[in-house]
A and B are shown apart, each in its own frame.
Chain A
Amino acid sequence: MADLTTTTTPGPDTPTPSSGGGNRRGRRSGAPAKLLPGVSRQKRLQAINGAKPPNPVVRGVKGIVLFLCCAVVIIPFLAVISTSLADQAQISAAGGYVLWPDNPSFYAYEAIFRGGVVTRATLVSIGITLVGSGLSVTVVALLAYSLSRPGTWGHKPILLLVLFTMLFNAGMIPNYLLIRQLGLIDSYWALILPTLTSAFQIIIMRAFFLETPKEIVEAARIDGASELRILVSIMLPLSKAAIAVIALFNAVTYWNAFFNAVLYINSTEKWPLQLVLRTYVVDNTAIGVDLPGDVVPPQQSLQMAILVVSLVPICLVYPFLQKHFAKGVVIGAVKG
């Protein structure tokens, strides 16, 4: 877009010396007549964009539709954040969610961070996510690369074995027994290892490696590079998009995982954040538990505060990776 506008407003035709790059907009609207005399504004826009600009009504409707779409996405977030800051009287009067807190306070955040449970669980989750997705990418890349090279030992059977795991799942109890036999009960590794690889990711990665022109690899080999060197110096730099996808897939999975912790973790200090979050947000009455006595469920503001806490890290990472995310998924799927 920017390139287009500069080329269609050539320098010699705009002699005003005072105009710098900063107010190009003002210049365009201020001196149109000199630019293409006798041509209507609409025509000019068409010349720039290559298509006729829609009339104001259509553009207005588009604006409203887009605004509504944005609102649908943004309002729930706003409600969650506002409710976490609001006081209980306002929440009760509003029926559960408020859109704008009257007397904002950070009481709910103080309350959930008191005692250190949430802080500790956040650190656990961050650790699991970093170590888990790091290891996961390593393992997936190594396996996918060896399966992508023609003529590796046991190529076909191993590939079939990997594909086979897509069809079946061992189930909860056998998995538990396996982890127990491995002595991993109540260990952080029990949260990392069971989801370390997935056949789906290996296939995406392998398809990506297969796409890389043979000639590059052959050239590297002629230069005396070993297989590992080829992978590290040639293949990986060429597959950044796919790696970002795998890393993000795994990071999101590890961040959101709580079920493995339910099965394998006994000590509460090893809980990941999502399991702590469940103690706040799962409504026990909804699952048919008739609560006895002294149990008062956490207030709505606390529930929303811990939701915000669990959302923030992913929200911080996502914008930087999402373009790879979208691109990478398509690459692996379509070209594979």
Chain B
Amino acid sequence: MMMQRDMGRRRFLQLGSGIGLSAVVGTGLVACGGDSGSDDAGSATGGPGGNGQTPDGGGRVVLPTYQRFDGIEPDLPGDEHGVPDAYFSYPRPANPSTDGPPGSGGVVRAMFGITTTVPPAMGRNAHWQGLNERLGVELQLNMMPMSDYPTTFQSSIAGGDLPDLVQVAPTTPRLPDMLEATFTDLTEYLSGDAVLEYPNLANLHPYAWEHCIYNNGIYAVPMLNLRAPNNMHVRQDIVDAKALNGDPADAEEFFELCQGLTDDRANTYALAQPTAILNNFITRMFEAPVGWSADGGAFVNAWETEEFKAALEYTARLWEAGIFHPDSFAGANHSQLFRSGGVAMMAEGGLHYRSVLADEVPGLDLTFMAPPLADGGGYAPVVHGTGVYRLTAIKQGLDEDRTRELLRILNWLAAPFGTEEYLYLNFGVEDEHHTWDDNQGVPDPTDKLGTERTPVDLVVRPPVPVFDPAYPQVAERFYHHQKQVVPNGISNPTAGLYSETEDRSGQAFNAPVSDAINEIIQGRRPITDWDQVIDTWRNSGGDDARGEYEVAFEERVNS
């Protein structure tokens, strides 16, 4: 139940997109109807303040105005719910979205975790040097592998000597207090129409900005991620070879598909991640809540619902039928198995398919599957993530000019797909970091780009586009999959609400439930034990957390 815990800890101020919630905050929605381009989440939490920059006493801070970048027409358009734009070529020549270097010649220090290999140091890195030139400042970047970044982050916060820009994980414990104590309140620079001074920041989705608001102030700039955090990847080549139906209409058909894909004598299986599949796919099919449901302010945990129990039972049936790889609970590497054909389907996040494609898997034909409703009759609503990957905050104690300079730099770095800035950030200089492919009209990266590219997209990033010139067919499928699942999604209503019990001892009292889920799936424990497990959970902290969420929820609705 990793997923559940993560969701619980992500305190973002997410309101309107939960299905049951629109009704509750309906008044806010009406009051803010005039906000240009905001999606329902944005306007719902906008409160009665309208377009004012900061609320006059009591009201909630106003989200930055959403103004979609319209400099380039996407080949397949996305939307404000988080369906990504898709492109099959890059505009040439690409036009800049900013005028001139945003910096004024000093030094800007930034600290962030990276998920790529580390680029050469500034002195021997033409891409980095070019970036300095274009930004008009010297960037001093303190990069760390993402897995070690929390350590660096903690010690830097403790030591108190922070660089100008600091990447912050949304899962950081006691995030609101930490942000308020350590970083600059950006409300006056970004709230409402003030953000229009930084058009590329105004192009970031309102649902992402929701996660930058804590203690009624905007404390960070979001780094966008895809809205649907998890997609079912399918090896259509294997499905076709066995002449199966790759688009099951209900739970039984999905079961049949899985059975058809499993052949334990050939050591091939349908699936390998029981808990991930349960949380991201099967609970969707049975329409269990994501984490919690908050119907009318009464919180119910997903685990307490009949829907979850049915999903769990179904997963146990899949396990009994031998559909999961036998090493699933012993650390089987599902991504490698997927490549080698050992499993035919996997649940993975974001644009994980790119790394699969990059590995030149022989015979691979990749598609994506939307979860069907268990009883048939359409597709189930998927999990909506936060849409935010990381946050970037600005350290405290800077004067207004400096803060504005840093925001201009962030604005430059957040330039969307199609601009000159984006081209430079992701593809470098022509004939040095890429060559131009005239057939497709796309930049073709050279080895030098792979080595030198400076990953400042981990400081701030524009909405993620679907752009895979080498695999246009898969890109198109991915786009259509997103378009199918993203508008129809539900999110965790506790996001943005704080429960001290959950923060302090959530891991301890949730762990027995996670263990029980694993045991029930593997048939070591009967499903009839489940009610008992949940009773224990309620008494050991679940009910306390529920109470705290309900109080926090009430406060937010009334504010």
Name which of B117-125, B186-194, B398-406, B511-519 contacts chain A: B117-125
Contact B351 A92 (CB under 8 A): no
A293: CB under 8 A from chain B? yes
Contact A95 B342 (CB under 8 A): yes
Contact B158 A177 (CB under 8 A): yes
Name which of A8-16, A70-78, A111-119 contacts chain B: A111-119
User: What per-residue 1/0 map shows which CB atoms of B314-336 lie under 8 Å from chain A?
Assistant: 00000000000000000001011
Task: Take A117-B117, A268-B121 as given contacts and tell me if A88 and B359 are in contact as well, using a CB distance cutoff of 8 Å.
Answer: yes
Of A282, A288, A290, most buried by chain B (CB within 10 Å of CB) is A290
Contact residue among B119, B229, B350, B457 (Cβ-Cβ distance under 8 Å from A117): B119
Contact residue among B119, B144, B358 (Cβ-Cβ distance under 8 Å from A296): B358
A172: CB under 8 A from chain B? yes
Closest Cβ of chain A to B347, distance in Å, is 11
Contact A290 B339 (CB under 8 A): no
Task: Take A92-B362, A297-B355 as given contacts and tell me if A180 and B161 are in contact as well, using a CB distance cutoff of 8 Å.
Answer: yes
Contact A291 B350 (CB under 8 A): yes
Q: Which residues of B contact A91 (CB under 8 A)?
A: 359
Contact A262 B146 (CB under 8 A): no
| B357 and chain A: residue at smallest CB distance | A296
Bound-state CA distance A285–B119 (Å) is 21
Q: How many residues of B contact A (CB 8 A)?
A: 66
Task: Take A115-B451, A268-B141, A284-B146 as given contacts and tell me if A293 and B351 are in contact as well, using a CB distance cutoff of 8 Å.
Answer: yes
Bound-state CA distance A294–B358 (Å) is 11
Q: Which residues of A contact B362 (CB under 8 A)?
A: 89, 92-93
Known pairs A114-B451, A287-B147 / 9 extra A-B pairs, C-beta < 8 Å: A89-B362, A262-B144, A267-B142, A284-B146, A288-B6, A290-B230, A290-B385, A291-B350, A294-B354
| B225 and chain A: residue at smallest CB distance | A292
Binding site for B on A (CB under 8 A): 88-89, 91-96, 111, 114-117, 120, 172-173, 176-177, 180, 185, 258-259, 262-263, 266-269, 271, 275-276, 278-280, 282, 284-285, 287-300
Task: Take A88-B360, A172-B155 as given contacts and tell me if A116 and B120 are in contact as well, using a CB distance cutoff of 8 Å.
Answer: yes
Bound-state CA distance A266–B142 (Å) is 5
Contact A115 B120 (CB under 8 A): yes
B143: CB under 8 A from chain A? yes
Closest Cβ of chain B to A277, distance in Å, is 9
| B336 and chain A: residue at smallest CB distance | A96
Sample (16) of A-B pairs whose CB atoms are under 8 Å apart = A96-B333, A96-B339, A173-B158, A176-B158, A259-B148, A262-B144, A263-B151, A268-B121, A279-B118, A280-B117, A288-B2, A288-B6, A292-B224, A293-B461, A293-B464, A296-B355
Of B159, B229, B447, B457, most buried by chain A (CB within 10 Å of CB) is B159
Bound-state CA distance A92–B352 (Å) is 16
| A281 and chain B: residue at smallest CB distance | B145
Contact A279 B145 (CB under 8 A): yes
Contact A291 B144 (CB under 8 A): no
Contact A95 B340 (CB under 8 A): yes
Closest Cβ of chain B to A111, distance in Å, is 7
Task: Take A173-B155, A294-B457 as given contacts and tell me if A92 and B339 are in contact as well, using a CB distance cutoff of 8 Å.
Answer: yes
Closest Cβ of chain A to B101, distance in Å, is 24
Judged by DSSP, the binding face of A is: helix
Q: Which residues of A contact B389 (CB under 8 A)?
A: 290, 292
Contact A292 B226 (CB under 8 A): yes
Interface residues of B in 328-380 (CB under 8 A from A): 333, 335-337, 339-340, 342, 348-352, 354-355, 358-362
Contact B360 A180 (CB under 8 A): no
| A299 and chain B: residue at smallest CB distance | B359
Bound-state CA distance A297–B351 (Å) is 11
Closest Cβ of chain A to B268, distance in Å, is 11
Contact residue among A176, A269, A280, A298 (Cβ-Cβ distance under 8 Å from B155): A176
Bound-state CA distance A115–B126 (Å) is 11
B154: CB under 8 A from chain A? yes
Contact A92 B359 (CB under 8 A): yes
Q: Which residues of B contact A296 (CB under 8 A)?
A: 354-355, 358
Contact B124 A116 (CB under 8 A): yes
Contact B340 A93 (CB under 8 A): yes
| B6 and chain A: residue at smallest CB distance | A288
Contact residue among A88, A176, A185, A298 (Cβ-Cβ distance under 8 Å from B117): A298
Contact A278 B119 (CB under 8 A): no
Contact residue among A92, A116, A291 (Cβ-Cβ distance under 8 Å from B349): A291
Q: Which residues of A contact B140 (CB under 8 A)?
A: 266-267
Q: Which residues of A contact B452 (CB under 8 A)?
A: 115
Q: Which residues of A contact B450 (CB under 8 A)?
A: 111
Bound-state CA distance A288–B230 (Å) is 12
Task: Take A116-B120, A278-B147, A279-B145 as given contacts and tell me if A290 and B349 are in contact as well, using a CB distance cutoff of 8 Å.
Answer: yes
Q: Which residues of B contact A88 (CB under 8 A)?
A: 359-360
Binding site for A on B (CB under 8 A): 2, 6, 111, 114-121, 123-125, 140-148, 151-152, 154-155, 158-159, 161, 223-226, 229-230, 333, 335-337, 339-340, 342, 348-352, 354-355, 358-362, 385, 389, 426, 447, 450-452, 457, 461, 464-465
Q: Which residues of B contact A268 (CB under 8 A)?
A: 118-119, 121, 141, 143
Contact A263 B155 (CB under 8 A): yes
Contact A290 B145 (CB under 8 A): no
Closest Cβ of chain B to A265, distance in Å, is 9
Contact A117 B158 (CB under 8 A): no
Q: Which residues of A contact B342 (CB under 8 A)?
A: 95
| A121 and chain B: residue at smallest CB distance | B118
Closest Cβ of chain A to B157, distance in Å, is 9
Q: Which residues of A contact B355 (CB under 8 A)?
A: 296-297
Task: Take A92-B359, A111-B447, A279-B118 as given contacts and tell me if A284 and B158 are in contact as well, using a CB distance cutoff of 8 Å.
Answer: no
Contact A285 B151 (CB under 8 A): no
Bound-state CA distance A57–B543 (Å) is 68
Bound-state CA distance A268–B352 (Å) is 27
Contact A291 B352 (CB under 8 A): yes
Closest Cβ of chain B to A34, distance in Å, is 61
Closest Cβ of chain B to A101, distance in Å, is 15
Contact A176 B119 (CB under 8 A): no
| B121 and chain A: residue at smallest CB distance | A269
Contact A290 B151 (CB under 8 A): no
Contact A92 B361 (CB under 8 A): yes
Closest Cβ of chain A to B540, distance in Å, is 24
| B156 and chain A: residue at smallest CB distance | A176
Closest Cβ of chain B to A161, distance in Å, is 26
Q: Which residues of A contact B125 (CB under 8 A)?
A: 115
CB-based closest 4 A-B pairs: A95-B340, A290-B349, A269-B121, A115-B451
Q: Which residues of B contact A284 (CB under 8 A)?
A: 115, 146-147
Bound-state CA distance A282–B144 (Å) is 12
Closest Cβ of chain B to A84, distance in Å, is 15
Of B111, B140, B342, B355, most buried by chain A (CB within 10 Å of CB) is B355
| A278 and chain B: residue at smallest CB distance | B145
Contact residue among A177, A288, A290 (Cβ-Cβ distance under 8 Å from B225): A290
Contact B361 A173 (CB under 8 A): no
Closest Cβ of chain B to A270, distance in Å, is 9
Q: Which residues of B contact A96 (CB under 8 A)?
A: 333, 336, 339-340
Q: Which residues of B contact A287 (CB under 8 A)?
A: 146-147
Closest Cβ of chain A to B188, distance in Å, is 29
Q: Which residues of A contact B115 (CB under 8 A)?
A: 284, 289, 291, 295, 297
| A289 and chain B: residue at smallest CB distance | B146
| A175 and chain B: residue at smallest CB distance | B155
Of A89, A275, A279, most buried by chain B (CB within 10 Å of CB) is A279
Bound-state CA distance A296–B198 (Å) is 30
Of A120, A268, A287, most buried by chain B (CB within 10 Å of CB) is A268
Contact A279 B116 (CB under 8 A): yes
| A265 and chain B: residue at smallest CB distance | B142
Q: Which residues of A contact B151 (CB under 8 A)?
A: 172, 259, 262-263
Contact A267 B121 (CB under 8 A): yes
